[in-house]
């Protein structure tokens, strides 16, 4: 990553520095080199003689981190010294360069800590007991025989790892948890499982909502790097407390669900068996879950032992957050940041639509250098920032009619809003539409957070009709007689599918305009005697409902003469609806 140059010091301050002060300013650098030299030599020795165990790797990493921190504290100026030295007003762009996770603190890419390999910092924080079984070795073999996959996975992870590590350390949690996205999603924030789990932490929809991850028409925070990381660690802390600090059970619950793990623990307790991870009866996927995490940990601790190399990851933020106060097209934001759109979306994957809503998001994430570029270009930009806005559908409409009303093609409206074929857009749905003179306002916070879209089948208008039940009629018999669905007829009449109607009770049904509603003659009942008796049969009306406003001007419904036998069973109908 290219380093953004620091703002130039005021000329007067530079000229005021005497020659006698310059040699002194070099001493901290010499002190730092002297402190770091043994660590460099030790690292070289490690490459030629790989460490034999994770414990050795952890001890070496802890020694490296402590030495660097000591050297950094010896040479770093205090905050008061920095404040005194910067007599000039802080540049506007410089205000931007703050750590997302440590508000108010500047990101200093020249700080000694920034040059520590982040992998060493992670090795030093490992705290969970190691697993050693055949499943671990199986996972190790899988990863070690796929170096290209490991390279892609760790390359993606290097963009986000610093922020994950910072959050894990702040909470004093085992550093193994920072490796979990490698197992869950290979650090892909666009990952989606067949079970609808999404993002690099693989949140299910309900669990995501439980941890305040917004999921609506415009955004899905399960894909958001910062929001999903916070939610995942909150969830893991909850699971740890639930299982009395047993991180292995907490991780099993993260994969299988806390209720399932709780039941497995209760079964073992009832049977007098151990309740640790190795002794629980759990599905194969969950049984293999921790061994995969252990294999990733082993590779991180001793990559040379597996014939793998890890990319260097600097110990400072790779990206920064930039506040926005206007709606902005994704394409426009990428252009202002001088990034291609795919790269921009790597850092802002939660955006579901081609527009970023200021009322909902409030910020975007950008690589360090591009953050400053974005702010500078935004200051110079003239013209609209967004070409899209939200429109609430005033009534249930066909997509073609909605498209005409907002001034775009039906195909375009369907594509951008993902409207399925043969569907209507229901009243109150929110659609993304082009901005116009009458629709040029930024989307409100309420709409940005609660926008939704719903569809209804595009079918011919339905007419409500009523039938009169005979003696002994059930939902099933009426449905069979008129070729209606039993479940549907039960829903229309708000009864169960096994319900029996009272003689003469009105039975509600719905038919399409022009659909024929004719009773089916029961098998074995068609005889001359029954036909003769039908002449003197009682008449049952099949009438349309006057309350159906959708068919106010529809043709009148004819009466259907229904012949009934002595037992009241319907046997035939002479006319039908039109």
> Active-site residue numbers?
184
Q: Would you say 364 and 81 are in contact if contact means Cβ atoms under 8 Å apart? A: no
CA nearest to 291, candidates 140, 162, 92, 495: 140
DSSP 301: H
Q: How far apart are CA 542 and CA 564, in angstroms?
A: 14
Strands (E) located in 267-401: 319-323, 328-329, 355-356, 363-367, 388-392
How many CB atoms within 10 Å of residue 304? 15
How many CB atoms within 10 Å of residue 570? 27
Q: What are phi and psi of 5, to 5 degrees?
A: -65, 140
Q: Would you say 365 and 224 are in contact if contact means Cβ atoms under 8 Å apart? A: no
Q: Would you say 183 and 296 are in contact if contact means Cβ atoms under 8 Å apart? A: yes
DSSP line for 258-282 = HHHHHHHHHHHHHHT---SGGGS--
Q: How far apart are CA 377 and CA 386, in angstroms?
A: 16
Q: What are phi and psi of 433, to 5 degrees?
A: -140, 160
Q: How far apart are CA 184 and CA 195, in angstroms?
A: 13
Q: What are phi and psi of 570, to 5 degrees?
A: -70, 135
CA nearest to 313, candidates 170, 192, 130, 187: 187
Burial (CB < 10 A; 0-12, 13-18, 19+), residue 41, is exposed
DSSP 394: S
Q: How far apart are CA 443 and CA 186, in angstroms?
A: 35
């Amino acid at each position: 990553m290219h380093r953004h140059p620091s703002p130039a010091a005021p000329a007067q301050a530079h000229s005021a520095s005497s020659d006698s002060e310059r040699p002194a300013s070099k001493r901290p650098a010499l002190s730092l080199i002297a402190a770091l030299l043994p660590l460099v030599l030790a690292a070289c020795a490690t490459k030629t003689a790989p460490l034999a165990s994770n414990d050795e790797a952890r001890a070496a990493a802890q020694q490296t981190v402590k030495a660097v921190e000591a050297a950094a504290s010896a040479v770093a100026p205090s905050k008061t010294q920095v404040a005194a030295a910067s007599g000039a007003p802080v540049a506007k762009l410089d205000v931007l360069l703050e750590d997302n996770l440590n508000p108010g603190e500047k990101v200093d890419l020249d700080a000694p800590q920034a040059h520590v390999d982040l992998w060493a910092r992670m090795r030093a924080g490992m705290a969970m007991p190691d697993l050693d079984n055949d499943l671990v070795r199986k996972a190790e073999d899988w990863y070690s025989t796929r170096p290209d996959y490991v390279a892609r996975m760790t390359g993606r992870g290097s963009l986000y790892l610093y922020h994950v590590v910072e959050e894990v350390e702040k909470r004093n949690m085992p550093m193994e948890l920072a490796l979990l996205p490698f197992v869950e999603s290979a650090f892909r924030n666009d990952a989606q499982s067949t079970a609808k789990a999404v993002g690099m932490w693989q949140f299910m929809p309900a669990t995501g909502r439980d941890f305040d991850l917004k999921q609506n028409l415009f955004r899905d925070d399960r894909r958001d790097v910062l929001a999903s990381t916070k939610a995942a660690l909150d969830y893991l802390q909850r699971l740890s407390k639930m299982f009395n600090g047993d991180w292995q059970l907490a991780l099993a619950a993260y994969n299988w669900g806390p209720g399932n793990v709780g039941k497995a623990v209760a079964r073992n307790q009832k049977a007098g068996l151990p309740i640790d991870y190795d002794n629980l009866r759990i599905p194969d996927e969950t049984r293999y879950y921790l061994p995969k995490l252990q294999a990733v940990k082993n590779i991180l601790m001793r990559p040379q032992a597996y014939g793998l190399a890890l990319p260097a990851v600097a110990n400072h933020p790779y990206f920064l957050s930039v506040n926005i106060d206007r709606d902005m097209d994704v394409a426009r934001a990428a252009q202002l940041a001088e990034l291609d759109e795919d790269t921009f979306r790597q850092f802002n994957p939660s955006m579901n639509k081609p527009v970023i809503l200021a009322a909902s998001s409030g910020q975007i994430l950008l690589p360090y250098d591009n953050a400053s570029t974005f702010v500078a270009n935004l200051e110079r930009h003239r013209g609209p920032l967004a070409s899209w806005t939200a429109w609430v559908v005033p009534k249930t409409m066909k997509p073609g009619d909605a498209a005409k009303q907002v001034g775009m093609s039906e195909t375009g409206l369907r594509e951008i809003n993902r409207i399925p074929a043969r569907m209507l857009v229901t009243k109150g749905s929110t659609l993304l539409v082009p901005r116009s003179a009458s629709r040029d306002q930024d989307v409100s916070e309420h709409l940005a957070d609660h926008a939704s879209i719903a569809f209804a089948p595009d079918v011919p208008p339905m007419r409500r009709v009523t039938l009169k039940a005979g003696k002994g009629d059930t939902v099933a018999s009426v449905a069979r007689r008129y070729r209606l669905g039993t479940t549907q007829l039960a829903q229309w009449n708000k009864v169960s599918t096994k319900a029996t109607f009272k003689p003469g009770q009105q039975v509600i049904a719905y038919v399409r305009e022009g659909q024929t509603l004719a009773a089916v003659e029961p098998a074995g009942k068609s005889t001359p005697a029954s036909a003769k008796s039908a002449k003197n049969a009682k008449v049952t009306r099949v009438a349309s409902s006057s309350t159906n406003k959708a068919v106010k001007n529809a043709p009148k419904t004819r009466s259907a003469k229904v012949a009934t036998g002595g037992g009241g069973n319907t046997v035939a109908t002479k006319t039908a609806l039109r």
